[in-house]
Structure 1
């Protein structure tokens, strides 16, 4: 089975690389020092500091491994494809209930509703992909059906 593709903007890729770099070169060495220092305190069976440091090391190593695997599967999406049709990387302005809202359609790993970045896998993202200015999409939301009129795409 082919690994799932991870869609990221260039900025999203840089952010993941930065996190990986920080984990490997800054955080992990500090945790290793804590493990070593706690080990020097003696009896490991009753050493809470040692146990906590080992647990944090395992978590950090897991995240490093996860990021390394993710980076092997990345497909870069361009910000705005120059098309009037919504695709990954498009910046979209919609009108919902008389209010304009801006979104960027991104891959699921980069999605952050607070930053107005919505996943192409989300209900709204799925509804918007392939649409163009002037079209209306309906999305089932917890509060009921929401209608979005596409105002602009870039």
Structure 2
């Protein structure tokens, strides 16, 4: 407990309810990434992350991946955003928002949704659609490659990082294996380098 001295004399208060003077909103920018912080009642209400338009980058997507990204963005903006806004409004009606778990949970969900929307919009702005190459003499993004590693034969497709899924044999072009294989030809042996190990990979087939 703490004591506050006011015009009406000293009175004890619960220290957990003392709200620090936090600005209602502020923006921090680091390496072209903006983080907008919004506070209310001394609590963090939203941390929205966005990327400035002058950052040059490309997101590689298959036609299927592009379609899925557009569909998810449409759902989040046209349906999910409204659902969460309604949830927040109902939580406000329950009473004091400074001690309202439902309100806090709804705000957390809103933050996740808004950040996902920003991410998907960024992906679609920078998207470069890749096709399934046929008859290519060397490995490119979109190639399905059969390789030999440590005496074992494996096969996977190289895709952009957004669609990477090792469980489905889809590896990112930015992964150590993906980077090492890009540009390789049939019969080439490339070296894959990671922070803890290096190993050789032989290209057996490109399709």
- Flag whether TM exceeds 0.5 (same fold): yes
Change (3 A) 1:144 1:52: closer
SS at match of 1:148: strand
Off by >6 Å, runs of 4+ in structure 1: none
Structure 1 residues 90-109: Cα deviation after superposition (integer angstroms, max 9, x where no partner):
01000122321111111222
Q: How far did 1:26 drift?
A: 3.3
Match of 1:49 in 2: 102
- Once the two structures are overlaid, the 10-residue window that deviates more, 19-28 or 100-109, is 19-28
Check whether the contact 1:81–1:87 (CA below 8 A) recurs between aligned residues.
no
2:197 to 114, 119, 144: 144
Unaligned stretches of 5+ residues in structure 2: 1-53
1:39 to 76, 84, 92: 92
Unaligned stretches of 5+ residues in structure 1: none
Matched residues in 1 for 2:194 and 2:96: separation?
55
| Greater strand content | 2
TM-score normalised by length of structure 1: 0.89
Matched residues in 2 for 1:24 and 1:145: separation?
44
Match of 1:13 in 2: 66
2:151 to 74, 78, 98: 98
Q: How far did 1:150 drift?
A: 0.8
Match of 1:65 in 2: 118
Check whether the contact 1:81–1:89 (CA below 8 A) recurs between aligned residues.
no
SS at match of 1:67: helix
- Highest CA radius of gyration, 1 or 2? 2
Structure 1 residues 44-98: Cα deviation after superposition (integer angstroms, max 9, x where no partner):
2222211211221122112112211221110011122431211111010001223
| Equivalence map 1:67-86=2 (5 Å) | 67-86=120-139
SS at match of 1:109: helix
- Once the two structures are overlaid, the 10-residue window that deviates more, 108-117 or 69-78, is 108-117
Match of 2:57 in 1: 4
Structure 1 residues 86-140: Cα deviation after superposition (integer angstroms, max 9, x where no partner):
1111010001223211111112222222221112222211111111111111213
Q: Larger relative CO (CA 8 A, sep 6+): 1 or 2?
A: 1
CA RMSD across the alignment: 1.8
